[in-house]
Structure 1
Amino acid sequence: MNRVEREAAARRLMEQTPPPVPPDLYGEVLRRGGRLLRRRRRARRLLWLLLCAAAVALTVWAATVHPWAQPPSSTTPPVTGW
């Protein structure tokens, strides 16, 4: 099929009347769309809750362990007798 034939076929398809839409399609689309939006909203809230819980857990861990402080050196014995 060359370009001219493809263009002619496309024009014939566009000139035809569209097939009828079932009458209950709109209600079904609204129902599914609402359900999809609720799922996304629930998932987003759950992810934010997990992110906040992880931030709180990291803050509590860092406040109790102090990972930024160096541990005391245990390789050199203390100097005595001076």
Structure 2
Amino acid sequence: MNRAEREAAVRRIMERTPPPVPVDVHAEAVHRGERLLRRRRVARRVLWLLACAAAVAFTVWASRAHPWVEPPSQTTPPVTGW
């Protein structure tokens, strides 16, 4: 099939009348779209809740563990008897 034949085939397909669409397609598409948006909204809220919980957990851990303080050195023994 050369280019002219392909173009003619495409034109024939495009010139045909479109098949009839069932009546309830619009309502079903709206229902599915609403369900998809609802799921995305719930997922987004759950992710925000997890992010906030992680931030709170990190803050509590950091306030108790003080990770920014350098631990005391353990390489030299304490000096006694001076």
Shift in Å at residue 62 of structure 1?
Answer: 0.7
**Alignment partners' CA distance in 1, 2:3 and 2:16:** 20
Q: Could you list the structure 1 runs, at least 4 aligned residues long, displaced by more than 3 angstroms after superposition.
A: none
| TM-score (norm. length: structure 2) | 0.92
* Match in the other structure for 1:59: 59
* Match in the other structure for 2:31: 31
Shift in Å at residue 73 of structure 1?
Answer: 1.2
**Percentage identity across aligned positions?**
73
User: Aligned pair count?
Assistant: 82
**Alignment partners' CA distance in 1, 2:48 and 2:6:** 50
What stretches of structure 2 of length at least 5 have no aligned partner?
none
Alpha carbon RMSD of aligned pairs, Å? 1.0
What stretches of structure 1 of length at least 5 have no aligned partner?
none
